[in-house]
Chains A and B, each alone.
Chain A
Amino acid sequence: MSSTVIRVNGKAPAEVSQHHVPMLPPPVWVDGSPSLRQITDDIARPLEMRPGKGWWICFSIAFAALLNLGGMVSYLFAKGIGIWGLNNSVGWAFDITNFVFWVGIGHAGTLISAILLLFRQQWRTSINRSAEAMTIFAVMCAGMFPAIHMGRPWDAFFIFPYFPNQRGPLWVNFRSPLVWDVFAISTYLTISLVFWYLGMIPDLATLRDRAAGGIKKFVFHILSLGWSGSQRTWSRYEIVSLVLAGLATSLVLSVHSIVSMDFATSLLPGWHTTIFPPYFVAGAIYSGFGMVLTLLIITRYTMNLQNYITLRHLDKMAKVTMLTGMIVSYAYLTEFFSAWYGGNLYERYHFINRATGPYAWCFYLMVLCNVVTPQLLWFRKARTSVVFLFAVSILVNIGMWFERFVIIVVSLHRAFLPSGWGMFYPTVFDVGILVGSFGLFFTCFLLFIRFLPMIAMWEIKGVVGHGAHKMALSSQEQEEPVSV
Chain B
Amino acid sequence: MSDSDSHGHYASCKSAKERLVQIQPQEAPAYWKSVAELQNGPRSSGEFPGGLPAAGQSGTTRRDFLALMGFTLAAAGLSGCRAPVQNAIPLLVGSDQFVPGVANWYATTCRGCAASCSLLAKQRDGRPIKIEGNAESSLFGGGTCATGQAMVLSLYDDERLRGPLWQGQPAGWEELDRRVAESVATAKAGSGSIVLLSGTINSPSTRAIISEWRASHPNFLHVEYDATSLSAMRAANQESFGLAVVPHYALDRARVIVGLDADFLGTWLSPVEFTRQYANGRKPEDAPSLHIQFESGMSVTGSNADLRIAVAQSDLGPVAAALLARIARRGGHAGIGPIEDPIDSRKLDAVAEQLWKHRGESLVISGCNDVTVQIVVNTLNVMLGNIGKIIDLTRPSLQRNGDDQAMSDLVEKMNRGEVHTLFMLGVNPAYDYHDPARFLSGLEKVPLSVSFSDRRDETSSHVHAVCPDHHFLEAWGDAEPVATHFSLAQPLIAPLFGTRSAQESLLKWLGHEPADYYTYLRDYWQKNIFRRQRGVPDFQSFWDRSLQEGLVVLPLLHPATEPRIQGNWRAAVHSIREDQAKHRQAGSADRYELDLYESVALRDGRHANNPWLQELPDPISKVTWGNCAAIAPATAAKLKLTDGDVVRLRTVTQQIEVPIFIQPGQHAQTISVALGHGRNKVGRAGQNVGVNAYPLLRVKDGYRLLSAREVTLEKTGRSEKLATTQTHFSMEGRPIVLETSLEELHQSSEVGIEPALPTLWAARPEGEHAWGMAIDMNACTGCSACVVACQAENNVPVVGKDQIERIRIMHWIRLDRYYSGPEEDPVAVHQPMMCQHCQNAPCETVCPVLATTTSSEGLNQQVYNRCIGTRYCANNCPYKVRRFNWYNYTDNPQFDFNMESPLGRMVLNPDVAVRSRGVMEKCSMCVQRIQLAKNVALQGRRELADGDIQTACQQACPTQAIVFGDLKEPNSRVAQLQHSQRRYQVLDELGTRPNVSYLKKVRNPVRTT
Q: A133 vs B817: C-alpha distance in the bound complex, in angstroms?
A: 54
- Quick check: A417 and B876 within 8 Å, CB to CB? no
- Quick check: B868 and A150 within 8 Å, CB to CB? yes
- Quick check: B846 and A178 within 8 Å, CB to CB? yes
Residues of B within 8 A of A415 (CB): 878, 880
The reply on B170 being an interface residue by CB < 8 A is: no
- Quick check: A91 and B884 within 8 Å, CB to CB? yes
The reply on B212 being an interface residue by CB < 8 A is: no
- Quick check: A419 and B726 within 8 Å, CB to CB? yes
The reply on B808 being an interface residue by CB < 8 A is: yes
Q: How far is the CB of A169 from chain B (nearest CB, A)?
A: 12
Q: A154 vs B987: C-alpha distance in the bound complex, in angstroms?
A: 37
Q: How far is the CB of A412 from chain B (nearest CB, A)?
A: 6
Q: How far is the CB of B780 from chain A (nearest CB, A)?
A: 14
Closest chain B residue to A79 by CB distance?
Answer: B887
- Quick check: A150 and B918 within 8 Å, CB to CB? yes
Contacts A152-B918, A345-B733; A158 near B866 (Cβ below 8 A): yes
Contact with B along A143-184 (1 / 0, CB 8 A): 000100111101110110000000000111101111100100
- Quick check: B917 and A152 within 8 Å, CB to CB? yes
The reply on B736 being an interface residue by CB < 8 A is: yes
The reply on B753 being an interface residue by CB < 8 A is: no
The reply on B11 being an interface residue by CB < 8 A is: no
Q: A79 vs B990: C-alpha distance in the bound complex, in angstroms?
A: 37
Q: How far is the CB of A445 from chain B (nearest CB, A)?
A: 29
Q: Which among B729, B816, B846, B871 is the interface contact of A177 at CB below 8 angstroms?
A: B846
Contact with A along B785-814 (1 / 0, CB 8 A): 000000000000000000100111100001
Q: A175 vs B872: C-alpha distance in the bound complex, in angstroms?
A: 13
- Quick check: B808 and A82 within 8 Å, CB to CB? yes
- Quick check: B874 and A418 within 8 Å, CB to CB? no
- B734, B831, B850: most-surrounded residue (chain A CB, <10 A): B850
The reply on B286 being an interface residue by CB < 8 A is: no
- Quick check: B848 and A81 within 8 Å, CB to CB? no
Q: How far is the CB of A106 from chain B (nearest CB, A)?
A: 21
- Quick check: A155 and B731 within 8 Å, CB to CB? no
- A88, A182, A266: most-surrounded residue (chain B CB, <10 A): A88
- Quick check: A419 and B818 within 8 Å, CB to CB? yes
Q: A153 vs B882: C-alpha distance in the bound complex, in angstroms?
A: 21
| Chain B count of residues within 8 A CB distance of the other chain | 56
Residues of B within 8 A of A173 (CB): 844-845, 847-850
The reply on B497 being an interface residue by CB < 8 A is: no
Contact with A along B1-35 (1 / 0, CB 8 A): 01100100000000000000000000000000000
The reply on A21 being an interface residue by CB < 8 A is: no
The reply on B888 being an interface residue by CB < 8 A is: yes
Closest chain A residue to B990 by CB distance?
Answer: A267
- Quick check: B849 and A159 within 8 Å, CB to CB? yes
Q: How far is the CB of B533 from chain A (nearest CB, A)?
A: 50
Contacts A80-B886, A155-B2, A419-B818; A171 near B728 (Cβ below 8 A): no
- Quick check: B845 and A419 within 8 Å, CB to CB? no
Q: A156 vs B868: C-alpha distance in the bound complex, in angstroms?
A: 7
Q: A216 vs B930: C-alpha distance in the bound complex, in angstroms?
A: 69
Contact with A along B608-635 (1 / 0, CB 8 A): 0000000000000000000000000000
Q: A81 vs B888: C-alpha distance in the bound complex, in angstroms?
A: 10
Q: How far is the CB of B618 from chain A (nearest CB, A)?
A: 15
- A265, A412, A420: most-surrounded residue (chain B CB, <10 A): A420
Residues of B within 8 A of A265 (CB): 845-846
Q: A418 vs B731: C-alpha distance in the bound complex, in angstroms?
A: 6
Contact with A along B713-747 (1 / 0, CB 8 A): 00000000000001111111110100000000000
The reply on A227 being an interface residue by CB < 8 A is: no
Contacts A79-B887, A419-B814; A176 near B918 (Cβ below 8 A): no
Q: A82 vs B850: C-alpha distance in the bound complex, in angstroms?
A: 24
Residues of A within 8 A of B730 (CB): 418
Q: Which among B729, B807, B847 is the interface contact of A87 at CB below 8 angstroms?
A: B807
The reply on A254 being an interface residue by CB < 8 A is: no
The reply on A56 being an interface residue by CB < 8 A is: no
- Quick check: A89 and B880 within 8 Å, CB to CB? yes
Contacts A86-B886, A158-B849, A416-B734; A266 near B842 (Cβ below 8 A): yes
Q: How far is the CB of A262 from chain B (nearest CB, A)?
A: 8
- Quick check: B850 and A268 within 8 Å, CB to CB? no
Contacts A80-B917, A178-B870; A419 near B876 (Cβ below 8 A): no
Interface of A is mostly: loop
- Quick check: A178 and B875 within 8 Å, CB to CB? no
Q: How far is the CB of A341 from chain B (nearest CB, A)?
A: 19
The reply on A92 being an interface residue by CB < 8 A is: yes
The reply on A448 being an interface residue by CB < 8 A is: no
Q: Which among A82, A88, A171 is the interface contact of B883 at CB below 8 angstroms?
A: A88
The reply on B406 being an interface residue by CB < 8 A is: no
Q: Which among A152, A176, A423 is the interface contact of B872 at CB below 8 angstroms?
A: A176
Residues of B within 8 A of A81 (CB): 869, 884, 886, 918
Closest chain B residue to A424 by CB distance?
Answer: B807
Contacts A176-B845, A265-B846, A267-B842; A88 near B807 (Cβ below 8 A): yes
Residues of A within 8 A of B845 (CB): 173, 175-176, 265
Q: Which among B809, B846, B849, B887 is the interface contact of A82 at CB below 8 angstroms?
A: B887
Q: Which among B868, B874, B886, B887 is the interface contact of A158 at CB below 8 angstroms?
A: B868
Contacts A86-B886, A88-B809, A345-B734; A417 near B875 (Cβ below 8 A): no
- Quick check: A151 and B808 within 8 Å, CB to CB? no
Q: A421 vs B170: C-alpha distance in the bound complex, in angstroms?
A: 51
Contact residues, A164-206 vs B (CB, 8 A): 170-173, 175-179, 182
The reply on B879 being an interface residue by CB < 8 A is: yes
Q: A175 vs B852: C-alpha distance in the bound complex, in angstroms?
A: 13
Residues of B within 8 A of A179 (CB): 848
The reply on A349 being an interface residue by CB < 8 A is: yes
- A92, A158, A171, A179: most-surrounded residue (chain B CB, <10 A): A158
Q: Which among A85, A92, A152, A421 is the interface contact of B727 at CB below 8 angstroms?
A: A421
Residues of B within 8 A of A156 (CB): 868
The reply on B833 being an interface residue by CB < 8 A is: yes
Residues of B within 8 A of A349 (CB): 732
Q: Which among A149, A177, A345, A418 is the interface contact of B728 at CB below 8 angstroms?
A: A418
Residues of B within 8 A of A82 (CB): 803, 808, 886-887
Closest chain A residue to B842 by CB distance?
Answer: A267
Q: How far is the CB of B878 from chain A (nearest CB, A)?
A: 4
Q: A178 vs B729: C-alpha distance in the bound complex, in angstroms?
A: 34
Residues of B within 8 A of A462 (CB): none
The reply on A422 being an interface residue by CB < 8 A is: yes
The reply on A55 being an interface residue by CB < 8 A is: no
Residues of B within 8 A of A177 (CB): 846
Contact residues, A115-143 vs B (CB, 8 A): none
Q: How far is the CB of B563 from chain A (nearest CB, A)?
A: 48
Q: A297 vs B551: C-alpha distance in the bound complex, in angstroms?
A: 86
Q: A175 vs B846: C-alpha distance in the bound complex, in angstroms?
A: 7
- Quick check: B736 and A417 within 8 Å, CB to CB? yes
Q: Which among B814, B848, B886, B887 is the interface contact of A178 at CB below 8 angstroms?
A: B848
- Quick check: A172 and B848 within 8 Å, CB to CB? yes
Contact residues, B963-1009 vs A (CB, 8 A): 986-987, 990
Residues of A within 8 A of B872 (CB): 91-92, 176, 178, 262, 266
- Quick check: A149 and B870 within 8 Å, CB to CB? yes
Q: A89 vs B875: C-alpha distance in the bound complex, in angstroms?
A: 8
The reply on A332 being an interface residue by CB < 8 A is: no
Contact residues, A2-22 vs B (CB, 8 A): none
- Quick check: B875 and A92 within 8 Å, CB to CB? yes
Contact with B along A343-367 (1 / 0, CB 8 A): 0011001000000000000000000
Q: How far is the CB of B735 from chain A (nearest CB, A)?
A: 9
13 CB contacts below 8 A, A to B, read: A82-B808, A86-B871, A88-B808, A88-B884, A150-B870, A155-B918, A173-B848, A265-B846, A417-B880, A418-B728, A419-B728, A420-B880, A421-B728
Beyond A171-B850, A176-B847, A345-B733, 10 additional contacts (C-beta under 8 Å) are A80-B886, A87-B808, A152-B869, A155-B918, A158-B866, A159-B849, A416-B734, A416-B990, A417-B833, A418-B734
Shortest beta-carbon contacts, A-B, top 4 = A420-B880, A82-B886, A91-B871, A419-B816
